[in-house]
A and B are shown apart, each in its own frame.
Chain A
Amino acid sequence: MSDQKYVRWLNAELPKLTGAGVVPADVAERIRAHYGAGGEGGGKRGAILVFSILGGALIGAGLILLLAHNWDEFGRPTRTVLSLLPLLVAQALAAFVIWRKSESGAWREGVGVFWVLAIGASISLVAQTYHISGDLPAFLLTWTLAALPVVYLLNSSTAAMLFWVGATSWAGSLYWEAPGRGWFWVVAALAVPHLWAVARVDRYRPRVAWLLWTLGVCAAIGTGFGLDHYRGAVWVPVFTSYFAALYLIGELWWGEGRTIWQRPLQTIGALGVITLAVILTFEDYWRHWAQRKEWLLLMKSPLLVMPAVAVGLWGWAWARRNTVALLFGALPVVTVAGRFVPGGLMVVAMNLYVLGLGVALIGLGVRDRRLGVVNLGLLVVSVLIIARFFDSNMSIVVRALAFIAVGVGFLVTNIVLIKRTREAQ
């Protein structure tokens, strides 16, 4: 199996090599033919893939609506058979795909989406025929688990994404009834081997990014639903750990991703860490929540795994001397330390932390000439200043001057960086 990442690199290098006369053009063409085009992104194939997924989704949804009309003149036996029809059609299509078209991504993904929708359609149609009011969590869990084999039989990443959305919806439907259940993670983990199998070929292919974006967002929401809303303070160590761990895992395994799209875990993790850190610079949390005994519940809960993983990964960032990863990964450590430090001191510490994060991002961006990183750093600093204006007693003049200073900073840094980049070119 050829590694797509190197194939892409090779394809980029070949014109240079032929241009420099190192490799004759015909040989270059034979090399290209041997390794293939590289990546799945080839425009036409990408479009076919997207349209087949959309097609599967639309046909599935249309079929559900058509049958939801409830053709009650047909009588119960006919309608019962009709209810099973979407599922039977999807299964037959799947057999055809496995038999004939297992190489075609468009077929696998399109039929995968249709199949997942057909499972839900069949179950709800039976419920409609027999007036079953139903139990939403049970329905969602049944549907989600029944859709799991679709992911593996068809090797369908779209089905895996729908599976995670289903698991998250199930966790959400349980939230008001039985909060504090950690089963979301167990269910969500069932589709992770698919991610592993897809990423093993090439970590930077588009499919992997899609899967990571979906999983990163779904797991954040699912984690929230899994928390018991009566135990207020637990969300802080859990969520800071989640986002920090996400960032660190991203750096560890997807560190070479170039665009934001190729760095889903770092992007979601960084946004989460920044948002939480800014929230935690307000006095309220530290004064009212941090000293509560609920923190101790974390010690007995399986959720303790999350801070443990985050701290473990932080150790890795130390070993690698990865400054940004160190800073992003430090948030859970800072907040857990806050349990043992007086609240007033923690407010100062959190403000320094956010300021440090912003300044480090600006510094890194300037060093590597990455304007996006600089602006992110400036944004962090500005948000911090704006946040302080809500709860501090600074005079209006001081606030005004601080705003002007940050604004000037924004402009000057951008101008200088753009100039430098031009000069470098």
Chain B
Amino acid sequence: MKLTLILLAVVAVGQLGIPGYMIHRQEQTLREGRAYKFKTAPVDPYDAFRGRYVALRYAQDHAAWTGTNVVRRMPAFATVVEGTDGFAVVSELALTRPAAGDFLRVMVHYSGWGTNAGMAYFTLPFDRYYMEETKAPMAERAYWDNNRRGQTNLNTYALVRIRQGHGVLEELFVDGRPIRDVVRERQKEP
């Protein structure tokens, strides 16, 4: 029994290590990572109701591709720089880790054609913003209201911290304000 309890202690530490490591990695990136604003994309307002999170899409979905053939769901490295407008830009996608600068691990799906030849389409690893179940639908509506097709102004973006290829979604901004504040205001409205 004593041996079993010792083994249990070892296993317990190991199991706690999984969420523990996840927490550590996220916190470290939030603390030390550089902040980038990723501009969100117009969404289809008829997208399925998600309930507990806001489904995010980003304005930039393709970038220059330096690898060979593209296979669906191929892991790749995206070099991230800050554009002149203050929003993040993926300047290049590659199969190898960039030597310098900030980068993210992304999934590449297919290569571009026509005017987009030499490009590849990718998805960023943060496409969900989780919220309390009562707030998420309202937040999603606020996000939609500010991401309609044809709207151009909007200062709607995801604030992401990046450190050593690891990105953490810190906050979602709708029209320049954190989505929590927007939701809180909307909840007060009759």
- Known contacts A91-B12, A122-B19; A72 and B131 CB within 8 A of each other: yes
A84 close to B19 (CB less than 8 A): yes
Which residue on chain B has the smallest CB distance to residue A68? B52
**Within the complex, which residue of B4, B16, B26, B53 is in contact with A98, where a contact is CB–CB below 8 Å?**
B4
Q: What residues of B have a CB within 8 angstroms of the CB of A98 in the complex?
A: 1, 4-5, 8
Residues of B near A80 (CB, < 8 A) are 23
Q: How many residues of B contact A (CB 8 A)?
A: 32
Q: Is the beta-carbon distance between A123 and B125 smaller than 8 angstroms?
A: no
A326 sits at the interface (CB 8 A): no
Q: How far apart are the CA atoms of A125 and B26 in the complex, in Å?
A: 13
- Asked if A87 contacts B19 (CB within 8 A), the reply is yes
A142 touches B12 (CB 8 A): no
User: Measured between alpha carbons, how far is A119 from B129 in the docked complex, in Å?
Assistant: 22
CA–CA, A132 and B11, complex, Å: 25
Given known contacts A72-B180, A95-B8, A153-B4, A133 and B128 CB-to-CB distance under 8 angstroms: yes
Contact with B along A65-106 (1 / 0, CB 8 A): 000111111000000100110011001001100110010000
Number of A-B residue pairs, CB cutoff 8 Å, is: 88
Residues of B within 8 A of A84 (CB): 16, 19-20
Known contacts: A72-B132, A131-B130, A133-B127. The answer to whether A126 contacts B19 by CB under 8 A is yes
- Assess A87 versus B16: contact at CB under 8 Å? Given A126-B23, A132-B22, A133-B125: yes
Flag whether A149 is at the interface (Cβ < 8 A).
yes
B52, A146: Cβ atoms closer than 8 Å: no
Bound CA–CA A13/B81 (angstroms): 83
| Residues of B50-64 whose CB lies within 8 A of A | 52-53
A153:B169 contact, CB within 8 angstroms = no
| CA A71 to CA B16, docked complex, whole Å | 21
Q: At the interface, yes or no: A128 with Cβ under 8 Å from chain B?
A: yes
A83 — nearest CB in chain B belongs to which residue? Answer: B19
Would you call B73 an interface residue if the criterion is a C-beta within 8 Å of the partner chain's C-beta atoms? yes
Answer yes or no: B32 CB below 8 A from chain A CBs: no
B84 in contact (CB, < 8 A): no
- Count residues on chain A whose CB falls below 8 Å from chain B CBs: 34
**Residues 109-152 (chain B) with a chain A CB within 8 angstroms:** 125-133, 135
Contacts of B4 in A (CB 8 A): 98, 102, 153
At the interface, yes or no: A26 with Cβ under 8 Å from chain B?
Answer: no
Tell me which of B15, B20, B126, B180 contacts A119 (CB under 8 A): B15
* Chain B hits for A352, CB < 8 A: none
**Taking the complex as formed, is A130 at the interface, i.e. its CB lies under 8 A from any CB of chain B?**
yes
Return chain B residues, CB-CB under 8 Å to A132: 22, 26, 126
| Set of chain B residues within 8 Å of A423, measured between Cβ atoms | none
Residue of chain B at shortest CB distance from A150: B11
Q: Is B18 an interface residue (CB 8 A)?
A: yes
Q: A149 to B8, alpha carbons, bound, how many Å?
A: 8
Q: In the bound complex, what is the Cα–Cα distance between A73 and B183 (angstroms)?
A: 13
User: Are the CB atoms of B8 and A70 closer together than 8 Å?
Assistant: no
Q: B131 to A130, Cβ gap below 8 A?
A: no
Interface residues of B in 26-57 (CB under 8 A from A): 26, 52-53
Q: Compute how far the CA of A245 lies from the CA of B128 in the bound complex, rounded to whole angstroms.
A: 45
Which residue of A is nearest B75, CB measured? A135
Q: Could you tell me the distance in whole angstroms from the C-beta of A394 to the nearest C-beta in chain B?
A: 47
Tell whether B154 is near chain A: CB-to-CB under 8 Å: no
The reply to whether the CB of A177 lies closer than 8 angstroms to some CB of chain B is yes
Set of chain B residues within 8 Å of A177, measured between Cβ atoms: 73
- A70 pairs with B19, CB closer than 8 A: no
26 residue pairs bridging A and B, Cβ less than 8 Å apart: A69-B133, A70-B52, A70-B130, A70-B131, A70-B132, A73-B132, A83-B19, A83-B23, A84-B19, A95-B5, A95-B8, A98-B1, A98-B4, A99-B1, A102-B4, A119-B15, A123-B19, A123-B22, A133-B128, A146-B14, A146-B15, A146-B18, A149-B7, A153-B7, A153-B8, A177-B73
Known: A131-B128, A149-B7; 19 extra A-B contacts, CB below 8 A, are A68-B133, A72-B131, A72-B180, A80-B23, A83-B19, A84-B16, A87-B19, A91-B12, A94-B8, A95-B5, A126-B23, A127-B22, A130-B22, A130-B26, A149-B14, A153-B4, A153-B7, A153-B11, A177-B73
Name B residues whose Cβ lies closer than 8 Å to a Cβ of A.
Answer: 1, 4-5, 7-8, 11-12, 14-16, 18-20, 22-23, 26, 52-53, 73, 125-133, 135, 168-169, 180
User: Can you list the 10 inter-chain pairs with the closest CB atoms, starting with the nearest?
Assistant: A149-B11, A131-B169, A130-B26, A91-B12, A126-B19, A128-B130, A70-B132, A126-B22, A122-B19, A72-B132
